[in-house]
Amino acid sequence: MFTIMLDVGGTEIKAGIADETGELVGEIKHYPARSDKTQKEIFDNLSKIIKERMLSVWGNKIGAISMAFPGPFDYEKGISYMQNLGKYESIYGVSIPDELQKRIPEMENVKICFAHDVEAFAVGAYHNGKTGGRGKAIFVCIGTGAGSAFVENGKVLKEPQSGVPENGWIYNTPFRDTVIDDYLSVRGLDAICQRIMEKSLSGLELYQLCMSGNKNALAVYKEFGEILADCLVDFLDKYVPDTLVFGGQISKSFLFFGDRVTKLCREKNIKILMEPDTSYRTMQGLYMIAQRRKTDGIS
C-alpha cells in the first residue's frame, strides 16, 4: 500500500512515493509546474505526474495521494483560491479531486488529502528531525515568501493565540510599512541587494561573494539578518518555543545572516535547528498527514 506525495509549487512540482512504513521509495522527482497555463493544461499536467508515479509501483495498490499547496487554499475540499500571484489562477474555485478523478479512473477509491506546504514541512521535520517530536517549535521557510508553522506537542496550531497568528502564518503580519512577506523573502533580499550593490543577484551569487569575503555582499546579508530578528522577536517572546527551525533556499546562507537571531535565541534559551533538505521533510510530512487523516481526520 503506497502513498504518492506531491509538493506543488509555482515553478515546479516535486513528487515522491512512500511505502506502508513511510519510507521513501526511490528519488524525489521534479517536474515543471505549468502553473501559469490554462485549467486543462494544469490538470493534465498533474494527472500525468500522478499516473507516472502510479506506474512506477505498478502492481501495488495506491492507498492515498497527499498534496501540498501554497495558500490561499481550501485544504478540506481541495480548492485553490490563488489570485494575482502569477500561479494557478486558472483553477481558481475548481475542485482538484474532481478534476483528477475525471482523468484518472484508477483514483476512484484513493484517498486524496491536502495540506499547506510549510505545514507539511513542519510535520515532517518535527517528527523526524532533531526536535525529537517534543515541545514547542516555530518553523520558518524563507524563499519566495515567508512560510511558517507553529507546532506544540505534535499538533499544528492554526487558531490565533498568544504568539501564534491565524493559521500559524506570519507572512501577512504588519511589519514596517507593509507586511513581513515583503521583507523576509527573495524580493526582500533583492531590495537590499539593489540598494547596497546597485544590482540584483541570486541568493547563490550572494553566497559565493560572501564566501570570498566581499564586503558589500556581507553587508546585504547582515541587514537581512537584522530584519529577520525584528520579524521574529515578538513571536519568540510570546509563543516561547523550545526550538526555531529554518528551511527553504535562503536559509542555506544562514551562516551570513543568522548572528542576531542566534544571539536572540541564546538569550531566550531557544535552540536553532537547520533543515537542509526541505523537500525530503515535506514528503515525510505529507505521508504522516495522509495517515492521520485516514484514522482521525486531523493534521
pLDDT in tens, 123-148: 999 999 888 888 999 999 998 889 99
Question: In the structure, what pLDDT confidence band is assigned to residue 298 with cuts at 50, 70 and 90?
Answer: very low
- Co-location of 19 and 108 in the same domain: yes
What range does the domain containing 106 cover? 2-119+280-295
pLDDT digits (tens, 9 = 90+) for 5-32: 999 988 899 999 999 999 999 899 999 9
Residues 266 and 136 in one domain: yes
For 90, half-sphere exposure in the C-beta direction (CA atoms, 13 angstrom radius) is 12
Whether residues 269 and 287 share a domain: the answer is no
204 Cβ contact list (under 8 Å, min separation 6): none
Q: Which of the residue ranges 34-43, 82-91, 188-197 would you say has the lowest mean pLDDT?
A: 82-91
Q: Is residue 125 part of a domain?
A: no
**Same-domain pairing of 165 and 36:** no
Distance (Å, rounded) from C-alpha 22 to C-alpha 19? 5
pLDDT of res. 108: 81
Same domain, 139 and 51: no
Is 225 a domain residue? yes
Residues 143 and 266 in one domain: yes
Separation of alpha carbons 13 and 174, rounded Å: 30
Question: Residue 216's pLDDT is what?
Answer: 97
Are 150 and 252 part of one and the same domain? yes
In a domain, 126, yes or no: no
227 and 142 fall within a common domain:
yes
Are 52 and 67 contained in the same domain? Answer: yes
Regarding whether 68 and 53 lie in a shared domain, the answer is yes
Same domain, 204 and 106: no
Grid coordinates belonging to 171: 507572512
- The tally of domains found in the chain comes to 2
Distance CA 196, CA 194 (A): 6
Which CATH number fits the domain that encloses residue 69?
3.30.420.40
pTM of the predicted structure, to 2 decimals: 0.90
In a domain, 102, yes or no: yes
